[in-house]
Structure 1
Amino acid sequence: MTSSDGITITLRLFAIYRERVGQECIEATLQSGSTVADALTYLGELHPNTLPLMPTTMVAVNQEYTERDYVLQPNDEIALIPPVSGGQGATLDSYDLTVG
């Protein structure tokens, strides 16, 4: 959807974003010429608890990774992909070596 005032985009939320927002998707209307960074600002204003996540988040538009200065088009889908962590940490084994 597009109008003289703006464009409609979809923010698709994964993992901790989904948990903090309580939704899988958010539809937003932004000004024409808005960038991915503007969409993130919109989300941060709507849900301030997402702001700490944003510096380390990867962003994809229409299933392709992109930079935050990418200019959005009508009906673009922005996926916010937070860093993944978990699993077992590395362990170090220590051995005594004998020469001879």
Structure 2
Amino acid sequence: MTIRVLLFAAARDHAGTDAVGVELAPGATVAHMRAALVRQVPGLASLLARSAVAVNHDFAEDGRALGPGDEVAIIPPVSGG
């Protein structure tokens, strides 16, 4: 299955795009998606380890299973004041 992953802020900057398609096996989890995304866009490795993930607008842990049609978003940490 192909999952569309939306990239925000620094993740978008590192990838040079605001979304990527990630091919995953059925039953894949958020952790599998993170690993596949790093293989596809190696420049995201350190940022992805610190980023939150949302699935269908809800924050998700690495063990959450993904299914066809899920919307995944990578939300990097923010700083500022």
Which residue of the other structure, out of 4, 8, 11, is the alignment partner of 2:2? 8
The residue number in structure 1 matching 2:49 is 55
What TM-score results when the alignment is normalised by the length of structure 2?
0.93
Which protein has the bigger helix share? 2
Counting matched residue pairs gives 81
1:84 aligns with 2:78: yes
| Larger gyration radius, structure 1 or structure 2 | 1
Q: Secondary structure at the match of 2:80?
A: coil
What TM-score results when the alignment is normalised by the length of structure 1?
0.77
* Matching residue's letter, 1:55: A
Sequence identity (%): 40
The 8 Å contact of residues 38 and 44 in structure 2, kept in 1 or not, is answered as yes
1:55 deviation in Å? 2.3
**Which protein, 1 or 2, shows the higher relative CO under an 8 Å CA cutoff with sep ≥ 6?**
2
